[in-house]
Amino acid sequence: MAQKIKVFIDTFYYQAALSGMRTYINELVLGAKNSKNNNIEYLFSHDINHWDQNHKFLNPKNRLSRLCFHVYYFFWKQIILPFKILKHKPNVLICPDYVAPLWRLQTLKLCVIHDTLFWDYPKNYNPLWRKYYIKLISLGLRGNTSVITTSNYVKSNLESLFLKQNFSIKVIYQSFLKSKIDDDRILKTLNLEDSNFLLHVGSFDKRKDLITLVKAFKLLKEDRKNKHLKLVLAGQKILNGNAEVLKELERYILTNNLSKSILMTGYLSGVEICSLYKKALIYVFPSIEEGFGIPVLEAFAMKTPVVTSNAAAMVEIAEGAAQHYNKGDYTELFKTLTKLIISKPKRNHLIEKGSERLKAFSREKFIKDYEQFILNSVTN
């Protein structure tokens, strides 16, 4: 190939992204920067290293700040970014944050849609904002566009939502941020013993169904053999989730005298989270709806057995390397956890299968799948 294919990656949203999407953009950028494909040249809208966790637009509490960001975001997507595309003339534009410019550009637009939560759970969003955002997504899919998504489950949902749209949908499994560093001091800080706690990492959104996990844990604590067992709910509480969900959890914990056994850590650093994954007895992911489920892979990487609900995307991603239970059924979750707690061979078997499953989610494979799709799309 005489002339390189020029790929422009829009990293603007990294400054405001939380957890999953932040990891996605970070892995995409790192994969592109380390790519050995001589047929592709990458350009980046922003240097993501300049944005850290304390950036003013990272989930701001102030409504005015949030409004300012959304105005700024619209201005970027619909005015500044199209001008940059006209200037640099890339063959491909990757927008990893649901929204692409609404203009019909000559450049191929690859729009990443991570899930269909905006459509499936309307009550979780402000009605006006949801209507505006869905319209923004739909307008960005006009013209020379393909959709990239994270699982076959989400692809199926998108095909149902956009029956009349003339764009292809490609599933590309993402990678996850590998941390080779951990900090065992967090165990001492939280008064935890190695392999004597269950772990959940993530937000307090209602769909995460943490109340089911807490109810199952209560049943576990009724067995004297589990009197020293603890449950760690790691992640920012209100900032990263729903205040009503937090209140419900706190009431249940207080009513059932579980305050000394259930720890809500608040924000933890990456190395602290890594240490918790590594030392946990079991990682539990009770969410009733996900587009992918990065924590499942993070637990696999730290050789921790995983239990998740039977939400379709997580069953797909785990592919037999995790134990599943019927979502929302805390008694079944209790029984599933009990079997794993008392059986080290079963836990070791899941650890082995998790390590094998991880091979499908490497950073190298992530970017190679992107590049193969780009080459096929541009050259055909």
> Are 170 and 189 within one domain?
no
> Are 342 and 327 within one domain?
yes
In a domain? residue 138: yes
| Structure confidence by residue, pLDDT tens digits, 229-261 | 999 999 876 554 567 888 999 999 999 999 999
> Are 286 and 343 within one domain?
yes
> Are 152 and 267 within one domain?
no
> Are 192 and 259 within one domain?
yes
Q: How many domains does the chain have?
A: 2
> Are 119 and 220 within one domain?
no
> Are 25 and 101 within one domain?
yes
| Structure confidence by residue, pLDDT tens digits, 173-182 | 999 988 766 6
- CATH code, domain carrying 212: 3.40.50.2000
Confidence of residue 225 (pLDDT cuts 50, 70, 90): very high
Higher pLDDT, 92 or 50: 92
> Are 244 and 169 within one domain?
no
> Are 209 and 144 within one domain?
no
> Are 168 and 102 within one domain?
yes
> Are 291 and 242 within one domain?
yes
In a domain? residue 135: yes
3-state secondary structure the chain: CCCCEEEEECCHHHHCCCHHHHHHHHHHHHHHHCCCCCCEEEEECCCHHHCCCCCCCCCCCCHHHHHHHHHHHHHHHHHHHHHHHHHHCCCEEEECCCCCCCCCCCCEEEEECCCCHHHHCHHHCCHHHHHHHHHHHHHHCCCCEEEEECCHHHHHHHHHHCCCCCCEEEECCCCCCCCCCCCCHHHHHCCCCCCCEEEEECCCCHHHCHHHHHHHHHHHHCCHHHCCCEEEEEECCCCCCCHHHHHHHHHHHHHCCCCCCEEEEECCCHHHHHHHHHHCCEEEECCCCCCCCHHHHHHHHCCCCEEEECCHHHHHHHCCCCEEECCCCHHHHHHHHHHHHCCHHHHHHHHHHHHHHHHHHCHHHHHHHHHHHHHHHHHC
In a domain? residue 268: yes
In a domain? residue 349: yes
In a domain? residue 180: no
Domain residues for the domain of 235 are 185-360
| Structure confidence by residue, pLDDT tens digits, 255-308 | 999 999 999 998 888 888 999 999 999 999 999 999 999 999 999 999 999 999
